[in-house]
Amino acid sequence: MGLETAWRRSPELMGRHESAVVVIDVQERLLPVISEGHRVVWNIGRLIRGARLLGIPILGTEQYPKGLGPTVAELAALLGPVPAKLMFSCRECAHILEPLRQEGRHKLVVVGIEAHVCVLQSVLDLLAEGWRVYVPMDAVGSRFAIDYEAAIRRMESAGAILTSTEAVLFEWCAVAGTPEFKEISALVRETFPHEAAVGTGRTPDLLGATLRDCRYDKAELVSLIRSRALKFGQFTLTSGKKSSYYLDLKQVTLHPEGTRLIGLGILELLEATWGLPDAVGGMAVGADPITAAVVTIAGLTGKRVLGFLVRKDPKGHGTAQYLEGPVAAGQKVVIVEDVVTTGGSALAAAQRAREFGLEVVGVVGIVDRKEGGREALAAAGLPLQTLLTIEDFGIKPPEP
């Protein structure tokens, strides 16, 4: 009798005939904000390929795909159609699990995003229903480290078994010396693409990878504006209004740290509000560095957002038009603005964009002075989102 059959295997281990994989909500519009998101997808992909090799079922879910988009292409090709849900937990899709029970598969490897929301709630519900749940720590992710760490601790304390992608693959395989073992070993030996590029003559995407792990820091932007752009005195604004303070935001939009924070912040705001538009742009020259920041950060993080600018006067030669940039009629765009007071500049830019044939879905600003701009834009069918309001600087807006 061989060692594999002579010894009774620990019930803590996963056999291929008692296991299944559940992939939770790895979707296009959510992935870009996940820390080490591309590495998480890479590990999930390896687990799926290993499971398919060993005949282990793979299930998946999508959270509100209308808003968060479909499953990322790398995994969609491996998963096939998956059910949609609105509940954060996969409990809403419990019907897809019933065939597993009938087959005697009671051990689930749960992977996906975000660790502290959909994955956590799914794991807790699955444990409550009597499933044995295994969570590869390198195949789940969140935006922020504190959320990831809290989720991992809570899942473990509730009874989930923490593991890793490599450990799961070898646990399923169980023995060496078989053709399956050779293929599983090849999966384990694969190198994450960013690492594989080092020493091969190819340039690794280190800048893009770094930016993908960066997050917009509101407090940092407030501090930068307060130190460089906020001035007190007697000023006349572009709108003609008198003010006891002035925001010279070009001191920030043309600053390297300001560019990074504004680009990251506006991209997060866009994705959370409307999803990524085809393009962003606004009235020259105040909006130009904002447009450049968004387009540049988007490109470096693997996203595609075009830019355009709106001239105050039509070009005096060539096309003789108000709007410049690689955009075309019918595309969805968002107007960007530095400081929103009455909304006049954004309204003018939106009008020119609409005349060009663009579909303007809204306006994003850096600071809202809260002096009627939001209401004026809303009246024109343009919802406003801003990174900050003047109250973030301890300044009370005037009474309406």
Same domain, 290 and 384: yes
- CA quadruple 107, 112, 116, 118: dihedral sign: negative
Predicted TM-score (pTM) of this structure: 0.52
φ, ψ of residue 386 in degrees (nearest 5): -135, 155
End residue of a domain, out of 163, 196, 229: 196
| Distance set, CA 269 to CA 66, 109, 285, 366 (Å) | 17, 33, 22, 11
Question: Residues 237-263: pLDDT tens digits?
Answer: 877 788 899 999 999 999 988 998 999
**Cβ atoms within 10 A of the Cβ of 379, count?**
10
Cα 78 to Cα 369: distance, rounded to the nearest angstrom: 49
Do 254 and 375 fall into the same domain? yes
Q: Is position 37 within any domain?
A: yes
Number of domain units in the chain: 2
Mapping DSSP to helix (H, G, I), strand (E, B) and coil, where does residue 23 land?
A: strand
Residues 83 and 188 in one domain: yes
Domain-terminating residue out of 196, 223, 255: 196
C-alpha–C-alpha distance, residues 395 and 388, integer Å: 12
112 and 28 together in one domain: yes
CATH, residue 37: 3.40.50.850
**72-86, 117-131, 211-225: range with highest mean pLDDT:** 117-131
Strands 242-247 and 230-236: antiparallel
DSSP string across 106-125? -EEEEEEE-IIIIIHHHHHH
Q: Is 202 a domain residue? A: no
Whether 83 is covered by a domain: the verdict is yes
Domain that residue 191 falls in: 3-196
- Asked if residue 146 and residue 7 are part of one domain, the reply reads yes
In a domain, 246, yes or no: yes
Q: Which residue has the higher pLDDT, 295 or 74?
A: 295
Give the H/E segment covering residue 155.
helix 145-158
Domain edge (last residue) among 141, 163, 196 = 196
For residue range 211-237, list pLDDT tens digits in order.
554 678 888 899 889 988 999 999 988
Q: Is 203 contained in some domain?
A: no
Domain-embedded: residue 323: yes
Indicate if 182 and 107 belong to the same structural domain: yes
